[in-house]
Structure formats: structure tokens, C-alpha cells
Structure 1
Amino acid sequence: MIRLRGWDPVLGMNLRNARIAEQNPTAAIRLVNDKYATKEALTAAGAPTSPTVALLRSRPEVSSLDWSGLPDCWALKPNQSLGGNGIMLSFGRRRSHWSSSSGKRITREAVADHLRRILDGEFSPRPNDWAMFEPLIRAHPDLDRLSHQGLPDIRVICRGDRPQLAMLRLPTRFSGGRANLHQKAIGAAVDLATGRITHALIGRAATGHHPDTGEPLVGASVPHWPEVLDAARRCAGATGLRYLGADIVVDADRGPLVLEVNARPGLQIQNVTGRGLATASARHRRH
């Protein structure tokens, strides 16, 4: 256990791994590695998540896909990919093709080829995978204005059904529109009680404004915050995990949606929030 000046005790990698081994059953970890099965479990538990438009499990299903049944705007995802790899997005339909966020043509042939690559396991740790189409998520305007292009999300660390820490991850030009902190996205600490941003970092440097949009960050509120926390609380019961990271987005029309549940959430949230997880972990174990 590490203690930094002025901080709660920090949860290190070894202690985190011990907690995961102790509290996250193998079956629960296996479940959350399967995005489609996780979505079904979340739905059954009353946690909001994005619906599945189409699920493809084999090449013959690609050949028989009803292309006209796809919405104009969609997200195509591998079922078991890591780190957001292998995702293709459509932002609109133009007669016989779709358009990317930059307006580039996405042909049916390109989509079919991408589907086959997903099924062959190119983006998965396993040799074969499934492919899912979902409706495209569009960020709530209050969060969209704080981001550069991509989709911002909220990471909530939970011990059982108790949220412990929360941060908002905001894409930047340097992160290529992705909400990955190691690619220079912004990590913004969110107060659990109010849903307001208390401070923000790019890497280790503090920032009060988004470097690309110029929007002030400190004091901004995450919309639908009570519903965000409620969605995070439902993840433990849905999946069987007792220590987890819930990744939640706030859609402009549908509100909070659980995007993913992580059985081994990273520890960088402690750097972003300035709060250590070891005290919260010990407190949870005493209750």
C-alpha cells in the first residue's frame, strides 16, 4: 500500500490484483469479457444499455444480412475486443453507402469485409468472435461541448453496489477523438455527491479548460448524474463482480447507458481524482 502526502492510501497493482482474485468470481469475469452476454445481464437487472440491432456469429449470417434493416447511424463492434479495437461507426446513409465522422464513404463491401475480420478474431484475444450492430450513441450536448469529436464517458469504480470514485474522460485532438487517458484524453474528477467536475488533468498537468474547445471544465456538471450512479450500482448485481469499473455514456436522447463493465479497472482514476482506493476498499470490507 502506498500513501502520498495529503492523499488517502493508494491502491497499488498487487493489492488490486489480490482484491480481484478474492472478490471477482471467474464466471463473472468470463461474463463481462462477453459484451453481448453482459448486455443481456444488465438489461435483466434494469441497467440501461444500448440495444443490439443485429448480432452476427458466422460468415453465412453476413451473407444473409438484411442491409436495409440497419439504421442510418450505427456502431459495429466486436463482441470480445479489447481497448475499443475494431469498432466501425456510421454517421449517416447516402443512398448505397454510409458516411464516417469525416464524411468518408463506407461501402457495403467495406462493412462486409470488416464483419469477416471481426468474425475471424482479428480484434479479439480468441480466434473467433461475434459482431454486433448497435445504434450510434450521440453524446448529451452538455458533454459534447466539453469534448473534441469522440464520445466522452464516465468511469465509476464500485465496491459491490457502492460507487467509490468517478471520473469523466474527455477526448482531445491529441487522443484522436478517443477517451483513452494514455493517449492524452482529459481525466476529470467528478464529485460523487454532486456530479460536478472538481479538477482535470491531461497526463500529469492540471487544466481548467479543454485545450481544443476552450470550454471551462471545473464546475461543469455531468447530466443525469443520479441516473448515472444508479446504473453503476446495478452492475455488480447484474454481473456478479464485487470490484468493478462501470463505463457509462450519456446519450443525447436515451440518457445514461452502460457501455462496458470492467473486472480489472485501471488505477489511474486515483491520480485523476487525488483519492486513494485502499481506504475505500478497507471501509467496504468492514461493512
Structure 2
Amino acid sequence: MLFSNPFALKKLGILGMNKRNIHYIGAQNNRKYYPFVDNKLKTKVIAQSAGIAVPKLLATVERQSQLRNLKDILVGLDKFVVKPAQGSGGKGILVITQREGDIFIKPSGQRLELKDVHRDISNILSGLYSLGGKPDVAMIEKLVEFDPIFDRYSYEGVPDIRVIIYKGYPAMAMLRCSTKESDGKANLHQGAVGVGINMASGKALFAVQHGDPVTKH
């Protein structure tokens, strides 16, 4: 593992995580609001009330006892995403792009049975993927399907563009592209590629995967 001199990084204008957390996130946000953004379900409700477009919430599973009716909950759902409300690092997210009866197909083509979906949701409820291991809620959302223009940028999944806003001004942006390793999820912790975007031109500057520079995707 390579380490860089923090003073050299500062001179280059690179913002470290500690300074980001203390001087920007911590200093600019009241802690009483943290629970609203640490919980995707609460965040979704707030976003919807503000008129912000978000993936449609199809169902929620809050208790293990509800899993007895999982087959009924999934009736008519051919394309969907299961995710923990308080998950982190992309863990516990299950993407289903096709369905053949009681067989659920992932972007990679892997075929799952109902018991596999049941196990994933049960793990979510038990807190396996949540912050601090707390009991969680499973969200079932409508699958977002992207425009073909992104076909060359992302593999087996939806890419996303993230823009960081600071005090009302766009400060930085990145594109996250799913890969075979990330299993169709645009999450860097799961192996997706992160691409820095020039805010003025919209052009890509550089890309990383697992913290290492990459030139091909």
C-alpha cells in the first residue's frame, strides 16, 4: 500500500476524508438531521415531498414474519431492486432484471430461486448490512432502466452521475460505472469504476477502481 505526504496532498488541493467530515459535513450540517440521510427510506420520503424524482417504492419488508408472504409481495414484479434502508458500501443490494415464474434473473444472467431472494431480505432485516448491525428494513424499488447512450459506459447495470453541491454551488462531479465485478451495481465498494468529471466541460478526467487508476473499462 502506498502512502502520500498529507502536506503534499493539501498543496495539490486534495481534500482528505477527515477534513471533509469535520470541516464540511460536520460543520455545515446539524446532527439532528443525520438520521434522515442515513436511512434511504426516510430520504426517499423527503425527496418525494420536495418533488424530486426517485425510483418508485414498490414494497417494504419490516419484519421476518412478512417473509412468509414474500411470494405474494413479489406478484407482478418482474424487474426490481432490493436494498437495505440503512446499508452502506452497496452491500445487500439485489438487482433483478428478468423473471421467469419463480426464477429471478440478475444482470449477469445468474438465476435465483425465491428462497435466494428470501435469504437476502432476511439478512437485511437482521442487520447484516446496516450501519452498526442494527435491525433494518428491506426496500423493494422499481428497476431504473437507462438510456442506450450509456451502453458503452456501464456493464450490466445503470451508471449514475453524482454532483456534490456545497452551499448551493456545484463543487465536483463524478460518474460511477457498474462492472462485471460490481454485479450490475454502480457502487465503488463493490468494484464499480469511478470517473472524475470536469465541471466546466463535462469531460472525463481520470478513472479509478478499488482506488487504483484505470484507463480501460
Confirm or deny a common fold (TM above 0.5). yes
Judge conservation of contact 1:121–1:127 (CA < 8 Å) in 2: yes
**Residue of structure 2 equivalent to 1:129:** 136
Shift of residue 83 of structure 1?
Answer: 0.5
Judge conservation of contact 1:99–1:105 (CA < 8 Å) in 2: yes
1:12 aligns with 2:21: no
Shift of the 121–45 alpha-carbon distance from structure 1 to 2, 3 Å rule, reads same
Judge conservation of contact 2:108–2:183 (CA < 8 Å) in 1: no
Which one-letter code corresponds to 1:132 in the other structure?
Answer: M
Separation in structure 2 between the aligned mates of residue 22 and residue 55 of structure 1, nearest angstrom: 34
CA-to-aligned-CA distance 1:183-210 (integer Å, 9 cap, x gap)? 664332323345x224222355463xxx
**Residue of structure 2 equivalent to 1:187:** 194
- Unmatched tracts of structure 2, length 5 or more: 1-6
Which one-letter code corresponds to 1:83 in the other structure?
Answer: G
- RMSD over aligned CA atoms reads 2.4
**Residue of structure 1 equivalent to 2:3:** none
Q: Secondary structure at the match of 2:186?
A: coil
Separation in structure 2 between the aligned mates of residue 186 and residue 110 of structure 1, nearest angstrom: 27
CA-to-aligned-CA distance 1:221-274 (integer Å, 9 cap, x gap)? xxxxxxxxxxxxxxxxxxxxxxxxxxxxxxxxxxxxxxxxxxxxxxxxxxxxxx
- Unmatched tracts of structure 1, length 5 or more: 213-287
Separation in structure 1 between the aligned mates of residue 192 and residue 175 of structure 2, nearest angstrom: 10
Matched positions, count = 204
CA-to-aligned-CA distance 1:145-203 (integer Å, 9 cap, x gap)? 21222332222111133211111122345656543446664332323345x22422235
Which one-letter code corresponds to 1:72 in the other structure?
Answer: D
**Residue of structure 2 equivalent to 1:31:** 36
Shift of the 62–160 alpha-carbon distance from structure 1 to 2, 3 Å rule, reads farther
Judge conservation of contact 2:82–2:141 (CA < 8 Å) in 1: yes
Shift of the 86–206 alpha-carbon distance from structure 1 to 2, 3 Å rule, reads closer
Which deviates the most, 60-69 or 131-140? 60-69
Which one-letter code corresponds to 1:13 in the other structure?
Answer: M
Within a 5 Å distance, the mapping from 1:1-287 to structure 2 comes to 2-4=10-12, 9-19=13-23, 20-65=25-70, 66-124=72-130, 125-173=132-180, 177-181=184-188, 185-194=192-201, 196-202=202-208, 203=211, 205=213, 207=215, 211-212=216-217
Judge conservation of contact 2:95–2:184 (CA < 8 Å) in 1: no
Which one-letter code corresponds to 1:52 in the other structure?
Answer: L
Query: Could you tell me the percent identity over the aligned residues?
Result: 34
TM-score with structure 1 setting the length: 0.63
